[in-house]
Structure formats: structure tokens, C-alpha cells
């Protein structure tokens, strides 16, 4: 088990190096000069632009620039500075917290609502409840996040306050503590809730038809125990896989949600930095996102053994 974890972590190193180099090349290959981007529609003073280019090593060959960058990260834990001389690590520190809060809120909502609804639908298969749940998930999947985001913000954020005076769902920012994450968390989780509902329903329905369920029922076990211990636990494996992979998706998918709700998270920053051609910030964020993705997948793989004792690692 320990060996397996270490092997997986060592495998992550080339993935990380490859991903950062790739992102570095892609960001660099984008047309437009990052220094010119700082000046908007006006032509930068040639001498000023030159001093800045020199300062940020932009005149050096790409591989040398990558080396400056990656050696800083590997040997000094230094992610460099952006073009306003702000350390990238400072930019990322606060933002990952926000995005992590948001992603966890979304993940909890997915697990509770998605699995809950799926369970309900599976137990009432073919009945009106089941049809209604399936129809509503279809609706959730087909409406883009951008729309759900703005509509919910307008109805629950603006109108609700105008009508009742109660400030329940903040429109923007993280000033209201955990309440700030409820609405954006739901919007971010939206499509995943729907998928998870459908996945749970199918997986559980299939499991409930299995021989051992019939055996358990025949033994006279209470229905709660049959569904909980024997049914749901066995149906969980695809769900955990989905949730684990989804944590990475949520971190990346936060771009739209964070912009709508003005959350100062990583998605928001990624968007701004791509726009401003801030290679160091973009590569720094992507590096950490890749790392999170790798770790989340590792945790998922390890959880299999807990759920199904037949799975062994070596």
C-alpha cells in the first residue's frame, strides 16, 4: 500500500514537468506581447518596454525562460512575480482558499443532493417521482451555468432582498462568510448534481437486482440495512470515481461561476492572467491544479479498497 502511494507520487513528477512546460509553451505561443498588453490601446514607450522586457527575461529564449521559472519553483519554492512585481505565491495563496471553499461546498451539495435524489428515484423507479426527478435533471444539464448563475443571482440575490429585505444570498464577494458560497456552490455543482443523480439511480437500480440483495432480503434483514449496507455501498464505486474526478473539474470550472459572483478565486485569476499574458501566474496556477488533480485521483483509487475489500494494491 505504502509502496503503491510512493510509486504513484513519483509518477506525478514527469506529469507535472510536462504539464508546466506545455502550458509555458502555449501561453508563450499566444500572439501579442505581454508588455504591450499592459498599455492597453496605447503604444508603450519603447525604452520603458525594453527595460521591462529585460527585467522579466522576456528577451531570452523560451527554454531558458522555462529554466529560470522551473528552477525557482523546484529549488527555492519561488513561483516568481507577475508583471506588477507581485509574488505569484501571494496571488495564489488567498485565491486557492476561496476556490477550495467553493469546490468543497459544491462537492458536498453534489454528494447530498445528487446521491439523495438518485437514491429516491431508484427506489421509486418507474413511478411519477422518478420521472419528475429525471426530467428536472435533464433541465439542469441543458441550461448553461452562465444562465443559471445570472438567473439565480438576480432572483435570490437581488429580488429576494428587494422584496423581503432579508440578505440571505449575497450577490457578490466573500464578505458574508460561508453564506457567500451557497449560491455559487450550487451553480457550480449544477450539472454535476444532475449527472450524479442519474448515475446513482442507474448504479443502485442495477445493484438492487443482484443476487446478494435477494439473499439479504430473503434472510429477513430490514429494508434500510439491505439498501444501505448491501445496495448503496456496492453502488458507490462509480460515484466515488465521479466525485474524485469532479473535484479537479470544479477547481477548473470555477472560472465562470467565480466571475459571476465576483469571488476572488483561482478561476477568476486564471482568466485575468491569461488575458494579461502573465505566464508565471498561469503556469503557477496550472501546476497546482495538476497537483490537486493527481492527488484527488490517488485518493479515489485508495478509497476503492475501503469500499470493496476484493481490491488490493501492491
Partner 1 sequence: MEVGEPQELLNPQNTTETEGSEVLAAVFSPLVRYDENKQPVEEAAESITTSDSKVWTIKLKSGYTWHDGTPVTAADYARAWNYAAYQDNAMASSYFFGRVDGYNDVHPGEGKTPTAKEMKGLKAVDDLTLEVTLTAPFSQFKTMLGYTAFYPLPKAAFGADGKVTQAYGEQPIGQGLFKVDKPYKKGTDQTIDMTVYDKFPGAKPKNWKKLQFKIYTSAETAYNDLQAENLDVDDSLPASAIASAKAALGDRYFDEPDAAVGYIGVPLKYNPDFKNPDVRKAISMAIDRKTITETVFSGTRAPADDFINPAIPGYRQGACTSCTYNPAEAKKLYDAAKGPSKIELGYNADGGHKEWIEAVANNLRANLNIEVTPKPFEKFQGILDALDAKEYKGLFRMGWSIDYPSAENYLTPIFGTGSIGTGSNYGGYSNKDFDELVAKGDQAADPAEGLKFYQQADDILIKDLPYIPVYFYRSNFGHSTKVKNVKLNLLNQVQWADIEKA
Q: For partner 1, how many residues bind (rule: CB under 8 A)?
A: 57
Burial of 165 (0-12, 13-18, 19+ CB in 10 A): exposed
Our CB check for partner 1 shows the closer of 52 and 104 to be 52
Where does this chain touch partner 1 (CB under 8 A) — which range of 118-126, 270-278, 291-299, 305-313? 270-278
How near is the Cβ of 62 to partner 1 at its closest, in Å? Answer: 19
Our CB check for partner 1 shows the closer of 39 and 212 to be 39
- Binders in 59-118 for partner 1, by CB under 8 A: 82, 84-86, 90-91, 93-95
How near is the Cβ of 55 to partner 1 at its closest, in Å? Answer: 7
- Binders in 134-153 for partner 1, by CB under 8 A: 150, 153
Nearest Cα residue to 60 out of 107, 110, 24: 24
How near is the Cβ of 306 to partner 1 at its closest, in Å? Answer: 37
How near is the Cβ of 175 to partner 1 at its closest, in Å? Answer: 8
3-state secondary structure of 51: helix
How near is the Cβ of 292 to partner 1 at its closest, in Å? Answer: 19
Residue 267 half-sphere exposure, CB side, CA atoms within 13 Å? 24
Cβ pair 7, 298 in contact under 8 A: no
Where does this chain touch partner 1 (CB under 8 A) — which range of 20-28, 58-66, 227-235, 263-271? 263-271
3-state secondary structure of 87: strand
157 binding partner 1? (CB under 8 A): yes
Cβ pair 66, 48 in contact under 8 A: no
Task: Give how far the C-alpha of residue 8 lies from the chain's centroid of Cα atoms, to the nearest Å.
Answer: 21
40 binding partner 1? (CB under 8 A): yes
Our CB check for partner 1 shows the closer of 46 and 128 to be 46
Beta bridge partners of 81: 87
**H/E element holding 54?**
helix 46-55
How near is the Cβ of 172 to partner 1 at its closest, in Å? Answer: 5
Set of cell numbers at residue 47: 525604452
Our CB check for partner 1 shows the closer of 86 and 299 to be 86
Between CA 29 and CA 78 the distance in angstroms is: 24
Q: In the set 3, 10, 14, 46, which binds partner 1 (CB under 8 A)?
A: 46
200 binding partner 1? (CB under 8 A): no
Cβ pair 174, 180 in contact under 8 A: yes
Long-range (24+ apart) CB contacts under 8 A made by 111-115 are 111/196, 111/243, 113/189, 113/193, 113/197, 114/189, 114/192, 114/193, 114/194, 114/195, 114/196, 114/197, 114/199, 114/200, 115/196, 115/197, 115/200, 115/239
Between CA 8 and CA 11 the distance in angstroms is: 5
39 binding partner 1? (CB under 8 A): yes
Contact string (CB under 8 A) for partner 1, positions 164-193, x = contact: ---x--xxxxxx------------------
Cβ pair 259, 268 in contact under 8 A: yes
How near is the Cβ of 257 to partner 1 at its closest, in Å? Answer: 11
How near is the Cβ of 149 to partner 1 at its closest, in Å? Answer: 10
264 binding partner 1? (CB under 8 A): yes
- Binding region for partner 1 (CB under 8 A): 30-33, 36-52, 55, 82, 84-86, 90-91, 93-95, 150, 153-154, 157-158, 161-162, 167, 170-175, 258-262, 264, 268-269, 271-272, 275-276
Amino acid at each position: 500500500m505504502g509502496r503503491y502511494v510512493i510509486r504513484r507520487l513519483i509518477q506525478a513528477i514527469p506529469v507535472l514537468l510536462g504539464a508546466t512546460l506545455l502550458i509555458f509553451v502555449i501561453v508563450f505561443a499566444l500572439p501579442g506581447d505581454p508588455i504591450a498588453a499592459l498599455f492597453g490601446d496605447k503604444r508603450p514607450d519603447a525604452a520603458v518596454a525594453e527595460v521591462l522586457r529585460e527585467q522579466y527575461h522576456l528577451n531570452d529564449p523560451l527554454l531558458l525562460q522555462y529554466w529560470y521559472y522551473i528552477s525557482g519553483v523546484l529549488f527555492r519554492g519561488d513561483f516568481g512575480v507577475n508583471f506588477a512585481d507581485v509574488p505569484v505565491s501571494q496571488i495564489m495563496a488567498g485565491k486557492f482558499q476561496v476556490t477550495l471553499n467553493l469546490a468543497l461546498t459544491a462537492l458536498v451539495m453534489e454528494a447530498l443532493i445528487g446521491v439523495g435524489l438518485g437514491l429516491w428515484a431508484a427506489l421509486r423507479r418507474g413511478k411519477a417521482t422518478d420521472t419528475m426527478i429525471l426530467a428536472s435533471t435533464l433541465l439542469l444539464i441543458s441550461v448553461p451555468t452562465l444562465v443559471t448563475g445570472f438567473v439565480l443571482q438576480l432572483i435570490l440575490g437581488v429580488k429576494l432582498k428587494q422584496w423581503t429585505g432579508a440578505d440571505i444570498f449575497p450577490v457578490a464577494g466573500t464578505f458574508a462568510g460561508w453564506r457567500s458560497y451557497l449560491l455559487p456552490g450550487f451553480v457550480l455543482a449544477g450539472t454535476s448534481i444532475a449527472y450524479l443523480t442519474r448515475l446513482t439511480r442507474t448504479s443502485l437500480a442495477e445493484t438492487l437486482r443482484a443476487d446478494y440483495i435477494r439473499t439479504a432480503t430473503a434472510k429477513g434483514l430490514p429494508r434500510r440495512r439491505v439498501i444501505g449496507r448491501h445496495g448503496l455501498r456496492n453502488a458507490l464505486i462509480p460515484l466515488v470515481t465521479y466525485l474524485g474526478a469532479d473535484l479537479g473539474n470544479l477547481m477548473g470550472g470555477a472560472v465562470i461561476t467565480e466571475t459571476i459572483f465576483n469571488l476572488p478565486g483561482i478561476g477568476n485569476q486564471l482568466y485575468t492572467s491569461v488575458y494579461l499574458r502573465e505566464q508565471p501566474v498561469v503556469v503557477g496556477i496550472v501546476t497546482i491544479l495538476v497537483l490537486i488533480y493527481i492527488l484527488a485521483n490517488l485518493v479515489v483509487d485508495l478509497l476503492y479498497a475501503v469500499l470493496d475489500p476484493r481490491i488490493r494494491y501492491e
